[in-house]
Amino acid sequence: MSRGNTIPFQRRLAPVDFSERGVENLSIGEYLIQRLMDYGIQDIFGIPGDYILSFYSMLEQSPIRVIGCCSEDNAGFAADAYARITGMGAVCVTYCVGGFKLTNPIAGAYAEKSPVVMITGSPGVRERFNNPLLHHRVRDFRTQLEVFEKICVAGTELNDPLVAFREIDRCLEAAARYKRPVYIEIPRDMVKVVPGAPYEPSISPPQSDHDALAEAVQEAGDLVRRARRPIIIAGVEVHRYGLQDALLQLAEGSGIPIASTMLGKSVVAETHPLYAGLYEGGMGREEVTKFVEDSDLIVLLGTFMTDIDLGIYTANLDPRKCIFATSEQLQIRHHHYHGVLLEDFIHGLAEQRLDPPPRKVPPLPPGWGDDFRLKPEAPITITRLMARLNLELDENTIVIADVGDALFAASELVTHGRTEFISPAYYTSMGFAVPAALGAGVARPHLRTVAIVGDGAFQMNGQELSSIVRLGFNTIVIILDNKGYGTERFLHPGDFNDIHPWAYHKLPEIYGGGTGYEVRTELEFDQALRAAWEDTSAMSIIQVHIALDDVSKALRRLAEKLSKRV
Amino acid sequence: MSRGNTIPFQRRLAPVDFSERGVENLSIGEYLIQRLMDYGIQDIFGIPGDYILSFYSMLEQSPIRVIGCCSEDNAGFAADAYARITGMGAVCVTYCVGGFKLTNPIAGAYAEKSPVVMITGSPGVRERFNNPLLHHRVRDFRTQLEVFEKICVAGTELNDPLVAFREIDRCLEAAARYKRPVYIEIPRDMVKVVPGAPYEPSISPPQSDHDALAEAVQEAGDLVRRARRPIIIAGVEVHRYGLQDALLQLAEGSGIPIASTMLGKSVVAETHPLYAGLYEGGMGREEVTKFVEDSDLIVLLGTFMTDIDLGIYTANLDPRKCIFATSEQLQIRHHHYHGVLLEDFIHGLAEQRLDPPPRKVPPLPPGWGDDFRLKPEAPITITRLMARLNLELDENTIVIADVGDALFAASELVTHGRTEFISPAYYTSMGFAVPAALGAGVARPHLRTVAIVGDGAFQMNGQELSSIVRLGFNTIVIILDNKGYGTERFLHPGDFNDIHPWAYHKLPEIYGGGTGYEVRTELEFDQALRAAWEDTSAMSIIQVHIALDDVSKALRRLAEKLSKRV
């Protein structure tokens, strides 16, 4: 154990408000900052580099706080988590050597619909004559833009002052509307350029086709009214579009139970009496699977039909009894409505009188509540670790699960609030949790963040704990240490799944802050978790030695499904 | 200080030789492995993941050794360094979550002409019907391929057995010919498919236009014979195309001195009597700049004209007295020859009788040889650190310099052999050195590798030291600890250049091996370096505290140039 000093974390006061100056007096960089603030961004993650330094200096003078990270890819994950919690996130890096490190987190944000604004510097427009080999350049000056056009929903290079403001608005609006990442490149000689032309942002929010909406809501309402055993499956878009209240209004008004997908987990408090559990086909708890698949009407709201959400296609949802509404489509049984917004559809349904017969949701499994009993000398297992952790969760906790059993086992946790369970449950990029915990800490410094991560994932990029120490967050990082890539051991045995062991619990000595614990038994885990929870002054690392063959039931089932395909 | 156990490193014997079986009996995966071996690849870096596990199992049964890394981006840098040393490198990862982490190292390999073969798994062809949301997928199944087509010289998806072997040959040949990275994607259901068709690799190596070559060599020879003060500037392509012997034959046969560019550094032993020094325009040592620019004929061989090689365009090379030959072009004064290969041009010149008057090359600066005198109590500076390190270098040392002053200060080291100085001197991606040291250790386990890296770069990805410990290499890592991004402090002051301090010297306790040193004075550095050099059993970390404003002369000059452009 070690303990170091930490720097107190305070949001600083705004030194500048660009909006008072009038848009025609703003430079391109200032306008971008103003618009980011308009979308609620108070913090930007990143690393400075020479092609973005002017903009960094401008940010430093702005109300937006710059959160320096150890590496750009981590900054991307932090911005992603921040976006999931606050509605939009941003990351700011230099050209190519910074930007290309964001490919993976931006791809993840695209795949899982997280509105991250990627801001990157680049060589100045006036430096590009004669096509010189400026450092960091790869193929030509547009290469980075062309790469990110593949994995962003909108992208721009602000090389023309006349249209720069409009381009900024177009990209930010696309991020807000589609909940996907966007790419904004500022050549370094454009940051301080004042276009000087009059400009009025004109953004027309999308609207539903009135008649299609009315017909769809009527048809869906009729189906619910005729149903005997309806259920809602709520997905990630309910988080992204902030539709939790509408969902609750619909469920509570009608008494329809709610299940969630893995990516949608914590869309409602899982202690809610209408919450039926996590639906993931053959991977999930049997009673929940049975409850969902026994339903005679399934209203899927904002769900992605991913392989993992569907238990690698072990789900059994008959389209003839499904209503499938997302931001991209509305399908009732086998026909489609065009031009119906997800939010309008949910609100429309919630306003109808729907009174299906009440259904009793499956109870929590034994051992996941007050009936948990410690077996002090027993080696700690993943399942028992989660059951013990579950006792600590409350409305002030954010749980972030990494990939593998960190995710599958954590799916059994009973969350108490909204957007308090965050994971890369579709894109499944290892190493998400620790930098995401930084992002969560910045977004919600007064909540307690718990990151659960495998040892293989931690070795990828766990050094972002350093930033958590620097900012003085009381994050708890639980490292599931099975000396290797545990999920893959089931899929495909081989020496390549073993990794070098680390003394993770000694990392506080490297970073000069926080406390480390090393545990093997249930009692040791109990004591460490208790101490970590009581310590609100700094971060804690709990290194949990688990047996090499210990896995959650969900992972065992998933590994069996996956291994048939490899 | 701490010391742990290490695992002895031994190259294992080949259990299988596919070539005995006849090409028509090989599966696509086996053919790829065979062809990698034909190109000299004995080791592949990477991380397993479900879409690539079948191929990993096949690799494990092959003579090729799989080197597991902490993260895919590090595996990419390791493969890049391996490629620079051995002629070709390879990295093998899973789809998207693995592949996209290679964007930055592959972009760097493209920019600096390093032939890295990127092998990636992907969903099986038969899994793609109906366009399902398989985990790791981003936009569509081709997204990863489309991204890497932007930053590779060739790419393929092996989805058709009939042409798979030809596609493999096309990509590997492109890597060998153009010294750039290539992309090979294997859908996981294609790995074991045996095309079964007869196939004969038919590769026609490129040839020079005979008449153009003869005329060019004659004209260049005449220019040299008329010159009074000719010089050769040798660049990175002399390394990449293995032309060091031809270069030496030309220089020694004619007595023409050789300067090198930063990216070309160590192209000849810098102790060679004809070696004039590193030419980098206004950034370099004055006497070398003057010597080069005073020449009346400058023969540039295999140089990239990058901004850093040219001292941010402070170089002063009059095209009217230049011969500029690379793998891509041959320009003499203001006219061009097409179809002349670099190697043929150098060999052709070397075979001519050229006897320009002898020139005396600039001497080493004082303090860089036997006249080095320790000032025991003096705080260690970057320049003095390099001068002390310089005394240890011999033909069995590889120096790897990271970006910033790790690079600029290290440029003054006097290397003793070939390809023993490795750095990302054009793409300048921070965090190259530690994973590259892993790659160098794998490629040349019997040499001593010294990695010099700034603290900011180390925090990005220094955890690859763990793999160095695991493999038992005696790498020495020197961390220049100035608590921030030192180069940028000169470019653009701001709090964002400061980073969280780490106790780097305690990392051996985390990784369970190696020895850490923490030094502040010249005596402490001398003692630590001596102890590290004598310890051939395991890696050493030397954490060197340097003043925040201490920089090399080259960096000071460069920062001044760069800051004028920001």
> What confidence category does residue B355 fall into, taking pLDDT thresholds of 50, 70 and 90?
confident
Handedness of CA A390, A394, A395, A401 (dihedral sign): negative
Q: Map tokens 């003078």 to a residue.
A: A61
Q: How many residues does chain B have?
A: 566
Contacts of A184 (CB under 8 A, 6+ apart): A32, A117, A118, A119, A120, A155, A156, A158, A167, A168, A171
What pLDDT, in 10s, does the model give residues B2-31? 333 333 333 333 445 566 778 889 999 999
Interface probe with A: pick from B47, B102, B104, most Cβ of A within 10 Å: B104
- State residue A333's pLDDT score: 93
> Which of chain A's residues have a Cβ under 8 Å away from the Cβ of B100?
103-104, 107
Q: Check CB contact under 8 Å for B68 and A470.
A: no
What pLDDT, in 10s, does the model give residues B288-346? 999 999 999 999 999 987 777 676 666 778 889 999 999 999 999 999 999 999 999 99
Q: Check CB contact under 8 Å for B54 and A136.
A: no
Q: Which residue of B has its CA nearest to A100?
A: B104
CA A127, chain centre distance (Å)? 38
Contacts of B511 (CB under 8 A, 6+ apart): A500, A502, B4, B465, B466, B469
> Which of A48, A104, A503 shows the shortest C-beta gap to B496?
A48
> Which of chain B's residues have a Cβ under 8 Å away from the Cβ of A104?
96-97, 100-101, 103
Q: Which residues of chain A have pLDDT under 70?
A: 1-20, 309, 311-314, 418-419, 559-566
Q: Check CB contact under 8 Å for A70 and B459.
A: yes
> Which of A138, A306, A488 shows the shortest C-beta gap to B53?
A488
Q: Check CB contact under 8 Å for A500 and B507.
A: no
Tokens describing residue A71: 């590496």
- 3-class DSSP assignment, residue A140: coil
Q: Check CB contact under 8 Å for B103 and A108.
A: no
Q: Which residue of A has its CA nearest to B126?
A: A565
> Which of B305, B427, B499 shows the shortest C-beta gap to A68?
B499
> Which of chain A's residues have a Cβ under 8 Å away from the Cβ of B495?
60
> What confidence category does residue B138 fall into, taking pLDDT thresholds of 50, 70 and 90?
confident
Tokens describing residue A333: 């049984």
d(CA B89, CA B384): 35
Q: Check CB contact under 8 Å for A71 and B151.
A: no
Tokens describing residue B220: 């260049």
CA nearest to B250, candidates B178, B338, B325: B325
Does residue B457 surpass a pLDDT of 70? yes
Q: Check CB contact under 8 Å for A133 and B565.
A: no
Interface probe with A: pick from B114, B136, B468, most Cβ of A within 10 Å: B136
Q: Check CB contact under 8 Å for A428 and B512.
A: no
Shortest Cα distance, chain B CAs vs residue A308, angstroms: 7
> Which of B54, B147, B304 shows the shortest C-beta gap to A566?
B54
- State residue B561's pLDDT score: 65
Q: Check CB contact under 8 Å for B60 and A494.
A: yes
Edge to edge, the sheet with strand A322-325 lists A275-278, A258-260, A230-234, A297-301, A322-325, A330-332, A335-337
Handedness of CA A276, A280, A286, A291 (dihedral sign): positive
Q: Check CB contact under 8 Å for B427 and A304.
A: no
CA nearest to B430, candidates A438, A103, A48: A48
Calculate mean pLDDT across residues B255-272: 92
Shortest Cα distance, chain B CAs vs residue A218, angstroms: 30
C-alpha angle B269/B274/B276, rounded to 5°?
A: 85
CA nearest to A566, candidates B140, B192, B139: B192
Q: Check CB contact under 8 Å for A97 and B491.
A: no
d(CA A99, CA B349): 43
Q: Check CB contact under 8 Å for B305 and A133.
A: yes
Which of A242-251, B9-18, B39-48, B269-278 shows the lowest per-residue confidence on average (mean pLDDT)?
B9-18
d(CA A280, CA B50): 20
Catalogue the E-assigned strands of A82-161. Answer: 89-93, 116-122, 154-157
Shortest Cα distance, chain A CAs vs residue B252, angstroms: 31
CA nearest to B313, candidates A49, A135, A138, A122: A135
Query: Under a CB-based contact definition with an 8 Å cutoff, are residues B83 and B178 in contact?
Result: no
Q: How many residues does chain A have?
A: 566
Number of alpha carbons in the 13 Å side-chain half-sphere of residue B177: 15
Q: Check CB contact under 8 Å for A107 and B127.
A: no
> Which of chain B's residues have a Cβ under 8 Å away from the Cβ of A494?
48, 53, 56-57, 60
Q: How many inter-chain contacts (A to B, CB under 8 Å) are there? A: 238
d(CA B280, CA B284): 5
Shortest Cα distance, chain A CAs vs residue B367, angstroms: 31
Q: Check CB contact under 8 Å for B492 and A132.
A: no
Which stretches within A116-228 are classed as H helix?
Answer: 143-149, 161-178, 210-226
Query: Under a CB-based contact definition with an 8 Å cutoff, are residues B237 and B243 in contact?
Result: yes
Computed over its alpha carbons, how large is the radius of gyration of chain B? 24
CA nearest to A96, candidates A116, A123, A67, A69: A123
Q: Which residue of B has its CA nearest to A144?
A: B150
Q: Check CB contact under 8 Å for A54 and B504.
A: no
CA nearest to B399, candidates B384, B382, B380, B386: B386
- State residue B563's pLDDT score: 61
> Which of B48, B97, B143 shows the shortest C-beta gap to A496?
B48
Q: Map tokens 């249209």 to a residue.
A: A163
Q: Check CB contact under 8 Å for A139 and B151.
A: yes
Q: Which residue of B has its CA nearest to A125?
A: B565
What pLDDT, in 10s, does the model give residues B527-550? 999 999 999 999 999 999 999 989
Shortest Cα distance, chain B CAs vs residue A16, angstroms: 17
Pairing, β A330-332 against β A322-325: antiparallel
> Which of chain B's residues have a Cβ under 8 Å away from the Cβ of A503?
509-510, 512
d(CA A16, CA A61): 7
> Which of A53, A70, A429 shows the shortest C-beta gap to B566?
A53
> Which of A491, A500, A512 shows the shortest C-beta gap to B503?
A512
> Which of A107, A133, A138 shows the shortest C-beta gap to B110?
A138
> Which of chain A's residues have a Cβ under 8 Å away from the Cβ of B501?
512
Predicted TM-score of the model (pTM): 0.94
> Which of B97, B127, B135 shows the shortest C-beta gap to A104?
B97
Q: What is the DSSP string of B125-142?
A: GGG-TT--B-TT--SSTT
> Which of chain B's residues have a Cβ under 8 Å away from the Cβ of A307?
132-135
**CA distance to A52, A526, B499, per residue, from A132 (Å):** 19, 61, 32
Q: Check CB contact under 8 Å for B147 and A151.
A: yes
d(CA B3, CA A330): 63
Q: Which residue of A has its CA nearest to B516?
A: A510
> Which of A124, A146, A461 shows the shortest C-beta gap to B150?
A146
Shortest Cα distance, chain B CAs vs residue A417, angstroms: 27
- 3-class DSSP assignment, residue A28: helix
Tokens describing residue A113: 């619909």
Does residue B566 surpass a pLDDT of 60? no
> Which of chain B's residues have a Cβ under 8 Å away from the Cβ of A313?
132
The 10 Å CB-count burial string (b at 16+, else e) for A300-311 is: bbbbbbbbbbbb
Mean pLDDT, chain B, whole residue set: 91
